Structure 1
């Protein structure tokens, strides 16, 4: 069972602390839980939330010594973290854990990782409202202020609040494949997939009226991923001009229609590769890419591997029930 340690510090963000326990606790395969989630604090002492109540973790910093993944929820400025400095015991424990564990932050937890020196020269993100302060404090970090989360292998960071759900679900998918991740998402009553590169700040997340939304057309697109879908057809389904449809689609999703459609097709192709014996050409046609060459290009851009390598990896996971850390 993959061991997750959640390091909670004073003035922590309440939702950020709850997200890992909720997502990873319900992730299972064949009725068996895949993760254990435990919480720690410096000295195992009570820590106060930003909402005005305290929690009492069961463990001290020694929990990080045996963790496979360490997650740091968002915090506000306060001891042991104060504008760019981090208490030595926390800093040293994180640095030591980075030698054997995957390190993850949610929201402003990225400030903690940066203060520990773990993000120098690495890509990262945090809540868009805190990006200017983060960049001033940590100029060595390659900050991307726009995305939902950044996966840099053994170091992962997410944007604010709900983006922590996206990142945790991404980790389940990375560890155990889309079937387990989709099942976990259903248990959490959340969308099964949002691309990490999706915009953090969406100008118009809630349409003024159902008639002005592109949601119905997005559902229509999902039912027809294997069919040719051009922009004129999408705009026609939404009963909008191409220009209006494109603008509203981006306002509501943070992506252009083409970017969103490619992402959904890649996700569907991944699901087919993991759960069926269809040939790569058949998977490509079923996902709407038309050819194995096109599928190969888009899958490699998304996850860095070919369709056959992806299938082999996740067939191994399905047989062993485990994923290698990485």
Structure 2
């Protein structure tokens, strides 16, 4: 009998956060694209024909209905995303469909407030689970039979039930499911392909600056080193020029010749790189990182970090932990033979 691809049914409803709609499917399709022996059939389904996302509101047609859930069995996965009406009990048709999936041995997963849906059906009773961090207290109060896991764990597995908090919790959950299906090597490659653009952006910018500096050969090296050791201070152009022993106009010319940037823009890049390293290699709170790198406040750090990397400092730290946590795991057995990084084509 010919085997079929494992189905990943992504269940959505009005108010689904955009990242929850995309992150899980991105992980599974990346795995299937990168490894020719990995087969996932990702299907977005809903109880209604159209669904709207949360802010910003986008309305889209959903290609599959609840009949998709009725056809699932062992080896398939249901991924329930967060939604606006998470406090309300699931409609009878949806409740029957989800209970049927669980009874047939499907793997059941939920991201964010999707955990409320599984818990409302009693499927999480006696199990460990988590949800969106701002909703943990509410979840605990509503479902006392569920052992609520605090926000230190972005995703939680208990038997065939998997729950996660937020965007990077959902990413952690999806990568974990890939690892369970296909081993550490596949999961690490998927994480690398998805997260490396976040991880490398600031470092790549700084390396390019250093390369250009060497090529131009203009020596303001002592001032650059001085900046590195004084990032915590609210440095001004006049102060930097005074250290270099030149006028502000001359300082600007020298910095542009050496780094390709004006002094304060260069300083911003160095501060962001230092913040990146602290996020990766320490447990220092974001507020303290902001002070130590000269941003003054966490809001100011978040603003500049978001513009440079596309994610927040806390999001970057969570993503880096997912990436390094998987990459650091020893290779185990049963990762699939003959799996190569041969793409299937565009």
TM-score class normalised by the smaller sequence: 0.5 to 0.7
Relative to its length, the structure with more helix (as a share) is 2
Alignment partners' CA distance in 1, 2:179 and 2:170: 14
- 1:70 paired residue number: 78
Aligned to 2:185: 179
How many aligned positions are there? 231
The answer for the alignment partner of 1:119 in structure 2 is 124
How far the C-alpha of 1:110 sits from its partner, in A, is 0.5
TM-score scaled by length of structure 1: 0.61
- CA gap of 1:57–1:35, structure 2 versus 1, over 3 A, is same
Separation in 2, partners of 1:265, 1:13: 26
> Cα distance, 1:48 vs. partner?
1.9
Task: Give the superposition deviation at 1:213.
Answer: 4.2
**Residue segments in structure 2 that go unaligned for 5+ positions in a row:** 200-269, 290-312, 315-319, 341-346
- Give the deviation of 1:76 after TM superposition: 2.1
- 2:184–2:329 CA contact under 8 A, matched in 1: no
Which structure 2 residues correspond to residues 238-249 of structure 1 after superposition, within 5 A?
247=284
Larger RCO of the pair (alpha carbons < 8 Å, separation 6+): 2
CA RMSD, Structure 1 to Structure 2 (Å): 3.5
Corresponding position: 1:268 with 2:322 = no
Encode CA deviations 1:30-67: one digit per residue, 9 max, x unaligned. Answer: 4355211001111x421222232222111111111233
Paired residue for 2:334, among 313, 318, 323? 313
Distance across 1 between alignment mates of 2:147 and 2:11: 24
Distance across 2 between alignment mates of 1:6 and 1:217: 32
The reply to whether residue 23 of structure 1 matches residue 33 of structure 2 is: no
Aligned positions of 1:164-313 closer than 5 A: 164-190=170-196, 209=271, 213=275, 215=277, 247=284, 267-270=327-330, 274=331, 311-313=332-334
Structure 1 stretches of 5 or more lacking a match? 194-207, 220-244, 255-259, 275-310, 322-326
Alignment deviations for residues 113-162 of structure 1 (CA, whole Å, 9 cap, x no partner) = 11121111110001110111111211111101222000112000001122
Q: In structure 2, what is the Cα distance between the partners aligned to 1:107 and 1:76?
A: 11
CA distance, structure 1, for counterparts of residue 43 and residue 195 of structure 2: 23
Aligned to 1:49: 53
CA 1:97–1:266 in 2, change beyond 3 Å: closer, same or farther? closer
Distance 1:268 1:188, change over 3 A: closer
Q: Please report the TM-score for the alignment, with normalisation by the length of structure 2.
A: 0.58
The 1:175–1:49 alpha-carbon spacing in structure 2 relative to 1, beyond 3 Å, is same
Say whether the 8 Å CA contact 1:214–1:248 is kept in structure 2.
no
